[in-house]
């Protein structure tokens, strides 16, 4: 499955951009009950203008859930995305414009 998105430009603060206790809202989320999923060529872009770093994708940690060639890209502005998926993959921001994760499972 191909997926591409761009996050909202203006989350005002991390406290205002929370999903329960999780920082940020995922650009893409595989639900906790999913046991089989294959994602290919999935990317999330960010242009933030409030200086807030947010989390990106979330997925259950199970052998049947696999992502291939996923990435995040910092377009411009301030802030960024803290990881590609579940804390894996370097943050993207004004000093690191793109992070790729070849395989995540």
Distance between CA atoms of 16 and 13, rounded to whole angstroms?
A: 5
Catalytic site residue from 6, 55, 58, 82: 6
pLDDT tens digits, 56-79: 677 888 889 999 999 999 998 888
Distance between CA atoms of 98 and 77, rounded to whole angstroms?
A: 14
pLDDT tens digits, 4-59: 888 778 877 777 777 777 776 777 888 889 999 999 999 988 888 887 777 767 78
pLDDT on residue 52: 77
Domains: count for the chain: 1
Annotated catalytic, 6? yes
Which position has the token pair 């947010």?
54
pLDDT on residue 15: 78
pLDDT tens digits, 78-90: 888 888 888 899 9
pLDDT on residue 1: 66
Distance between CA atoms of 11 and 51, rounded to whole angstroms?
A: 9
pLDDT on residue 60: 83
Q: Is the pLDDT of residue 102 over 90?
A: yes
Range of the domain at 78: 3-104
């Amino acid at each position: 499955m191909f997926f591409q998105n761009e996050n909202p430009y203006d989350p005002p603060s991390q406290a205002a951009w929370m999903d329960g206790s999780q920082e940020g809202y995922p650009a893409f989320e595989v639900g906790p009950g999913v046991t089989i999923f294959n994602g290919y060529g999935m990317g999330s872009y960010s242009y933030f203008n409030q200086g807030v770093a947010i989390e990106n994708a979330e997925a259950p940690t199970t052998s049947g859930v696999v992502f291939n060639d996923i990435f995040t890209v910092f377009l411009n502005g301030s802030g960024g995305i803290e990881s590609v998926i579940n804390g894996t993959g370097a943050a993207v921001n004004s000093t690191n414009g793109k992070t790729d994760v070849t395989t995540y499972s």
